[in-house]
Amino acid sequence: MQKTVEFFFDFGSPTTYLAHTQLAQLATDTGATVVYRPMLLGGVFKATGNTSPVTVPAKGRWMGQDMARFAQRYGVPFAHNPHFPINTLTLMRGAAGLQLRDPQALMRYVDAVFHAMWVQPLNMGAPEVLAEVLGAAGFSAEPFMALVADPEVKAQLVANTEEAVARGAFGAPTFFVGENMFFGQDRLDFVREALA
């Protein structure tokens, strides 16, 4: 039986970026399939009464240091985005739309957006910046904007977000291995154990 880990994500979460950098190796090591599940973190927060950790200044400072430590441990680039927080609605509709209409292109898009957000780091809430990042990744801005405006795509992102909340998610990244839920990129060891 094929092992699967579902990865509920939002590009606006730096810890989700860190998790993303580790998932290909985790899949290789465990023989599991990683299924990317775009959701809207703002919708999750609203539904659960949760808020971003940076709303607590001391926690926000600590998290900045902690993310830098994990990036160093993982050997991956990471930069605090000075434009944070960024409204990710269009970005997440893009992920949901590509998964629905062009799944082969999803990972190219996911890699490009995470890199733009947390390595470069760019203001991905600015339409001209988004268009430039899309173009560099081989996506045309006009078809992309039509995709994110599609009612079916919008409904899919809402459905994914509602499903995540119904299953117990309260933030990102959230992983599911079967019915077992794991929250946070610092829980990847538990995800690995659940897949073993």
pLDDT at 38 over 70: yes
CATH number of the structural domain spanning residue 48: 3.40.30.10
The mean per-residue pLDDT over the stretch 59-73 comes to 94
Task: Tell me phi and psi for residue 120, to 5 degrees.
Answer: -70, -35
The mean per-residue pLDDT over the stretch 91-95 comes to 98
pLDDT digits (tens, 9 = 90+) for 114-123: 999 999 999 9
| Residues in a beta bridge with 7 | 36, 175
Give CA–CA dist 86/45, Å, rounded: 15
Q: What is the mean pLDDT of the chain?
A: 96
The mean per-residue pLDDT over the stretch 81-96 comes to 96
Domain range holding 45?
A: 4-195
pLDDT at 1 over 80: no
Which among 161, 102, 108 is positioned nearest to 133, based on CA atoms?
Answer: 108
- pTM here? 0.96
H helix or E strand, kind and range, residue 195 = helix 188-195
pLDDT digits (tens, 9 = 90+) for 134-167: 999 999 999 999 999 999 999 999 999 999 999 9
User: How many domains are contained in the chain?
Assistant: 1
Amino acid in position 23: L
